[in-house]
Structure 1
């Protein structure tokens, strides 16, 4: 059984999602060749998290969800993001909601720590740029590496973030 967690950018530029879908599908095929029991762990944020969750389900894996705070859905940007969230949450085999009533740095850090505690491998959909935002992708990658969790960075040629 293989448990793969994800961290990554939410602010993906136009045309980046198809590149990431292909890269994620390839990585999952590589990780589970003929081996049943894939579980993907995601916080279901728009962008990388949701693309990863969709790829896990498409590969026949189970989806485990970690939500940073109560009513996380209400924090999502638009109707399309909320519809995707609802669809993925419905498909999840289990859902853990961190004990925070609202969005905060502590809530996001706790969710990332919970996700890493379940993962054999972390997939980072990341452009490699350092961030001053604690609790974001760069911080999660650093935490995984410090804990000895292998990290696979995915950022295909042509991928970009919105400015």
Structure 2
């Protein structure tokens, strides 16, 4: 099972605690050895999910946008543990765009979205694309979470 992850960054400590618990529960439910977590490994929900997948014995794959700048050591360590790293072409290269959301939707069977439900922003666009593609989207936003 290939499961993608997107989510808000810059969440409060209480939101982090609630979301980490829910992500842990979801990873446990998927069954570790067949699970491949796919995402950009960004700080916050994406890296929390990746660590939960690895802690349960699953594998992770990273999507690295062409515009990605050198990142913090924690991101580099997760990237080093990825079974595959998918580097996207820069905008304008052979007509391909730097569209991580579209790449993610094309690589997974399901999507977890740590999302507050606001209709604007990148998360909403990726969720809509995933639903149009027929993917199951699991929205994670436990009671008590605070929008960034």
TM-score of the pair, normalised by structure 2: 0.89
Q: How many residues align?
A: 143
**Corresponding residue number in structure 2 for 1:27:** 26
Whether the 8 Å CA contact 1:121–1:151 is kept in 2: the answer is yes
- Distance in 1 (alpha carbons) for counterparts of 2:54 and 2:69: 20
Whether the 8 Å CA contact 1:120–1:149 is kept in 2: the answer is yes
Per the TM alignment, residue 47 of structure 1 is displaced from its structure 2 partner at its CA by 1.5
SS of the residue aligned with 2:38?
A: strand
**Corresponding residue number in structure 1 for 2:82:** 92
Whether the 8 Å CA contact 1:20–1:155 is kept in 2: the answer is yes
Whether the 8 Å CA contact 1:64–1:92 is kept in 2: the answer is yes
Per the TM alignment, residue 36 of structure 1 is displaced from its structure 2 partner at its CA by 2.7
Q: Which runs of 4+ in 1 moved over 4 A?
A: none
SS of the residue aligned with 1:89?
A: helix
Q: Mark the runs of 5 or more structure 2 residues left unpaired by the alignment.
A: 92-96
Whether the 8 Å CA contact 2:20–2:45 is kept in 1: the answer is no
Q: Deviations over 1:78-121 (max 9, x none)?
A: xxxx12201110111110110117xxxx52xx211111111111
- Distance in 1 (alpha carbons) for counterparts of 2:119 and 2:126: 11
TM-score of the pair, normalised by structure 1: 0.81
Whether the 8 Å CA contact 2:118–2:124 is kept in 1: the answer is yes
1:1-163 alignment, distance < 5 Å: 2-32=1-31, 36-70=33-67, 72-74=68-70, 82-100=72-90, 106-107=97-98, 110-131=99-120, 133=121, 136-162=122-148
